[in-house]
Amino acid sequence: MPTATTATPRTAAPRIAVVGAGPGGLTCARVLQRYGLPVTVFDRDGSPDARTQGGTLDMQADSGQAALRAAGLLERFLELSRPEGQQMRLLGRDAALLFDLVPEPEEAYKPEIDRGLLRGLLLDSLAPGTVHWGHHLTAVVPLGDGTHRLCFANGATSTADLVIGADGAWSRVRALLSDAVPAYTGVTFVEAWLDDADTRHPELSALVGEGTMMALADSKGLLAQRNGNRRIRLHIGLRADRSRFEHLDLADARAVRAALVREFAGWDPVLLRLITDNDGRFVDRPLFALPVPHTWTTTPGVTLLGDAAHLMSPFSGMGANLAMLDAADLAGRIATEDTLDTAVRAYEATMLPRAAEAAEGAAEGLAGAFSPDSTAHTLQHLAAFAEALRPGEAGVAAR
């Protein structure tokens, strides 16, 4: 397998630093190591278990699963994933079931996996010591010859021939390439959970099903997603100025429930029980996105992948999938191009237009889902998805 060199080779193997041990950064490190290339990953978390990973991610066939294949981890992923989690439901504000796509036994268009399990799968595949935990990047200093010095809050420094910013929405590395900062999309999710849902919340558990359930109307929505261990994550979505939440103390569950029930006045009582009966703890999750398209001029010694490059609303359903696809593409280019510069240039030439297209779709998806027409818009979108999946059978899913 060919090995990459820098434009002006100075070391036998390039010093590659990945900032961020999310799905993107870890996939990049894994694929590089499969090509026999050394890599170091730095993450601000003190350890892999420093914070709960929360939530579930779908892995789509032509992006997340393609990256897992490049990482040599697809089979293990399929063993760990929940194919039943592919189910997609849409309800009206009167709780009428408008769409219900139940996966066929052999279908693997987007099996779900808990974030913690995915992180564990990727981490276990890396050479010991690859990830340097407790390294919060505070600055990246260009040294003038295409190399960079990374400075961390713990006082450590490291010099790299290539810095890969996989450091998420509020990336520090991004400032080397672009002035863009994420902007509030106008939609806020309030997160809560239903624990042990089958036993403690059987009616709501049946309402949600095995995958994702959305009730979208009047520019607002109740979105529920089955996770592992029979837990359900709930997002109560509102189109709202940030100032609307300033006075709300999220620790005061009674006040939060009362305020949210007022927002959803007129919705079916069973849907309102998602607000009144959940187990909390309420978490504020405003949705931010980078401008579309977000682009930059290729610069020696540094690039971005995943949310650092193209943060978009979760209505793309693509964030982690694209991060991992970026990662596999970039690692493959580094391994096969003659120099790091040509590898980064070739990677960005593919990644930037792909990300712009997805981000445009995500912005349109969010605007449609949180519009006065949200039910019809989402139904149309889901029907198109079902038609592409099972041509001629989309009516099976629409009720």
Question: For binding to ligand FAD (CB under 6 A), which residues are involved?
Answer: 19-25, 42-45, 57-58, 135-137, 166-168, 172, 189, 285, 306-308, 314, 317-321, 323
Q: For residues 187 and 353, give the distance between their C-alpha atoms in angstroms, rounded to a whole number.
A: 25
Q: Quote the least distance from Cβ 138 to ligand FAD, whole Å.
A: 7
Which amino acid type is present at position 75? E
Nearest CB to ligand FAD, comparing residues 6 and 89: 89
Backbone dihedral region of 114: left (phi > 0), alpha (psi from -120 to 50 degrees) or beta?
Answer: beta
Q: Quote the least distance from Cβ 115 to ligand FAD, whole Å.
A: 8
Answer yes or no: are the C-beta atoms of 300 and 17 closer than 8 Å. no
Chain centroid, CA 280 distance in Å: 22
How many other CB atoms are found less than 10 A from the CB of residue 266? 9
Q: For residues 183 and 140, give the distance between their C-alpha atoms in angstroms, rounded to a whole number.
A: 23
Count of positions (residues) in the chain: 399
Burial (CB < 10 A; 0-12, 13-18, 19+), residue 259, is: middle
Nearest CB to ligand FAD, comparing residues 187 and 383: 187
Task: For residue 182, give every residue at least 6 positions away whose Cβ sits within 8 Å of its Cβ, in sequence order, or none.
Answer: 169, 170, 288, 289, 290, 311
Q: Quote the least distance from Cβ 176 to ligand FAD, whole Å.
A: 13
Nearest CB to ligand FAD, comparing residues 6 and 238: 238
Q: Quote the least distance from Cβ 266 to ligand FAD, whole Å.
A: 26
Q: Quote the least distance from Cβ 260 to ligand FAD, whole Å.
A: 17
List of E strands, 102-206:
112-114, 131-132, 137-142, 148-152, 157-160, 162-165, 183-194
Q: Quote the least distance from Cβ 169 to ligand FAD, whole Å.
A: 6
Q: Quote the least distance from Cβ 365 to ligand FAD, whole Å.
A: 12
Nearest CB to ligand FAD, comparing residues 23 and 300: 23
- First-to-final CA distance of the chain: 53
Nearest CB to ligand FAD, comparing residues 6 and 44: 44
Q: For residues 317 and 314, give the distance between their C-alpha atoms in angstroms, rounded to a whole number.
A: 5
Nearest CB to ligand FAD, comparing residues 25 and 146: 25
Q: Quote the least distance from Cβ 270 to ligand FAD, whole Å.
A: 23
| 137's tokens | 């990047």
Nearest CB to ligand FAD, comparing residues 10 and 242: 242
What is the C-alpha radius of gyration for the chain, rounded to an integer number of angstroms? 22
| 180's tokens | 């863009």
Nearest CB to ligand FAD, comparing residues 6 and 232: 232
